[in-house]
Amino acid sequence: MWEAAVGASLQQATLYDHYEVADVHKLFEKQFPRAERQPPIPSLNLFELSVGNDEQDSVQEYSGALPARWWFTTEDSRNLLQIQDDFIGRNWRRTDSSPAPSQGYPGFDGLLADIQLAVDAINNFNNSRGRSVPEPDIFDVVYVNHLFAKREDGTSRKFREMVPWLNFTDDVMKGGMAVNWFERVTSFTTNIQAHFVGVRSHTERSVAQPALRLVINARGSCSSWPEFYERCEEAHAYMRARLLALTSEEVQATWS
């Protein structure tokens, strides 16, 4: 696992009062001691905004009177809670470019539990000031996996040894190759993307590692927090099944 995120877009842009950001951060300061102001976004898109992608400059190009987005992060930058007046998201990301097993990944259950605790904490904070957290209208679950071409012994995997469902006649990895499709499920739509990348650390400059970037993003509508949690559970089960179906047993054996 390289990145994972769970988030909610809200029916109203009233998650918190912008003059109370410092007080809101204090609710989470023990777990997320750092606070970082980020460019605002027009709507929830966890794939673009959850992981601080240097390549994605589109969020910087948005103009208008949008309020700031805030990251509350751990000291190692792996875990973050992000808030804007119309969304809340809980994210985990790797901070190194090594193909070694992920360290400290809380799992989907941990991410969902954290966002529920965050919503409850902000709601209690708001209730003390005569308001409440708005209901959600969109849920988002994102998995980003990097399937590294090189094995630990230095040999390279062939394309079909990573994702057997897609083969080239010459069995050679194609630089810049990308595949993108949607799968519609009863209560949500899943977007699956696969493309070759050079993987670097989020927090340090390092030699790029060749890999296949596999992104699975499930998104759908909801109208209440109980429905949000239920839909996220459904999406996670589907995404996990698709991830196992799309990858080889050799690749899966490297996961922790």
The band of 173, judged by pLDDT with boundaries at 50, 70 and 90, is low
Q: Which residue has the higher pLDDT, 37 or 201?
A: 37
Residue 256 pLDDT greater than 60, yes or no: no
For position 64, what pLDDT does the model report?
44
pLDDT tens digits for range 84-124: 999 999 999 987 665 555 668 899 999 999 999 999 999 99
For position 63, what pLDDT does the model report?
41
pLDDT tens digits for range 39-95: 877 654 444 444 444 333 333 333 444 567 899 999 988 999 999 999 999 999 987
249-255: long-range contacts (C-beta < 8 A, 24 or more apart)? Answer: 250/157, 250/161, 250/162, 251/147, 251/157, 251/161, 251/162, 251/163, 254/99, 254/101, 254/148, 255/1, 255/101, 255/102
Of the given ranges (84-93, 169-178, 207-216, 222-231), which has the lowest mean pLDDT? 169-178
